Amino acid sequence: MKISLGCDHGGYELKEIIKEHLKNKELEIIDVGTYSLDSVDYPDYGGKAAELVAKKEVDKGIVICTTGIGISIAANKVKGIRCALCTNAYMAKMTRLHNDANMLALGAGIVGKNLALDIVDTWLDTDFEGGRHIKRVEKITDIENTL
């Protein structure tokens, strides 16, 4: 599996922890930045990570800022992206099962390292349930395509 990772300065340290964790799981990582604690704008990196997912150059994406809010909003502006901000493993599981989220957003100032890794693992290990949820995900896509 190939994963895009993106963050702003507020998510940099957690991104590096997650990147190492994913590499240890032998996943391929495309890190679109940022690469330091220097102040940057989260839309630049949320958008880059999301574009890779939308173009199917990666399978899924993970984005991180201080709260996860701004970077998830930015990622969700890319057509075809369903980025879910999760603060616990149950949310991560449900957004994969029911929403087929193709991106995960985390808030580095909200979740600690251990919780973040649990969220990431749960999200990556959970498949879309399909069934009655297909119609609902299609309705989300319809909204995106008509506005």
Q: How far is CA 89 from the centre of its chain?
A: 14
Question: Which tokens go with 31?
Answer: 């890190």
Q: Are the C-beta atoms of 15 and 32 separated by less than 8 Å?
A: no
pLDDT tens, position by position, 11-58: 999 999 999 999 999 999 999 999 999 999 999 999 999 999 999 999
| pLDDT tens digits along 89-108 | 999 999 999 999 999 999 99
- Catalytically active residues, by annotation: 65, 98
**Cis peptide before 87, with omega less than 30 degrees from 0?**
no
